[in-house]
Amino acid sequence: MTRSTGPLAGLRLVEISGLGPTPFTAQLFADMGADVIRIARPNSAGAANHVLGMENDPLDRGRDVLELDLKSAEGLAVARRLIARADALIEGMRPGVMERLGLGPADFPENPKLVYGRMTGWGQSGPMAERAGHDINYVALSGALHAIGTPETPVIPLNLVGDFGGGAMYLAFGMMAALWHARATGQGQVVDAAITDGVGHLLGMIHGMAANGVWTDHRGGNLLDGGVPWYGVYPCADGRHMAIGPLEPKFWQEFQQKMGFAPGELPDRADHAAWPALRAAIGARFLSQGRSYWEAVFEGSDACATPVLSLAEAVMHPHNVARHAYVLHEGMMQPAPAPKLSATPGRIGPGSTRHRIAAQAVLARWGG
């Protein structure tokens, strides 16, 4: 099943089966045409099945699964032959595990261009490198969890900020940077992607705002954390919600007009003391009608007001449908490959966790 389309066609990756960030990174590469082989334990299910009981996970799509017992001489030998022929490897084990198996970065001198992508929560070094943890712990230690939520308590941002944003996306970016370098020099390297590093990097703008005195350490009291009345979420009469964000004056003016407020009717938003009254006025107006009413009011406007959609609603929204943002694959609606490339768009290739491949077939495909 050699992939002949996509911007990464011809790129060979070995993925050591893992959770969350590593399969998502592998999915990103596979969606863009890379030939990814996942090495999994015999009789193992997909990554999410281990924890969540899911039998069909979009993170597993687009690559073949090769079952190997890496504690056996035979399984280890096959893995070594594949990695020796790969452009890159993705693994998310605790530090030292791959080395103890004999599959560490230094174990492949015959493949000097190998890019070795390592995904962990704490990183390969540091006093917490050996400790267990999950997304919530990494986001907490990075400062992001403290900054997200209500004044009373932090709110967990799913695992989007840690596992996928600060983890998988940074691993993918780091690997692409290393692959570019290897292409030019023939020299591979290790990519040490720590979720704590990535989340900290994502917070760069917030750190900058804090350093310039325009961000306080009090949650729910800032421009982008729901602290201001014109950037937040409001309930409607039917219990559903609208999200508003008219930050610029011209958008704020249009928002007021669409909401039916007369000029000067609302308190001056520059007056901090008037924010409670301003929030109450906006909230009362939204509560006077259901969400569908407000959707119609703001349709086609620049008022920066949108409905808060459920997952099912998002799949069916006309904008997402027009952009083909979701596709039906293996009987399940799931996100399409992103971002969209004009000349070499990504696609969901063959293979999934439900399809196993024999070692000889993989070795033959990779010329080994």
Neighbours of 138 (CB within 10 A): 28
The answer to whether 199 touches 53, Cβ cutoff 8 Å, is no
Based on DSSP, count helices (H) and strands (E) in the chain, helices before strands. Answer: 15, 11
Whether residue 339 is preceded by a cis peptide bond, meaning omega within 30 degrees of 0, is yes
Neighbours of 82 (CB within 10 A): 21
Q: Which amino acid is at 91?
A: E
Backbone angles phi and psi of 168, in degrees to 5: -60, -45
Annotated catalytic residue, options 31, 135, 163, 197: 163
Q: What are the angstrom distances between the C-alpha of 332 and each of 58, 266, 327, 355?
A: 9, 47, 8, 16
Helix (H) or strand (E) holding 120: strand 115-120
Does the annotation mark 134 as catalytic?
A: yes
The answer to whether 188 touches 178, Cβ cutoff 8 Å, is yes
- CA dist 200 and 122 (Å) reads 12
Annotated catalytic residue, options 134, 241, 317, 329: 134
Does the annotation mark 163 as catalytic?
A: yes
Listed residue (218, 229, 38, 81) closest to 146, CA to CA: 218
Structure tokens at 277: 């009254």
Give catalytic residues, as residue numbers.
134, 163
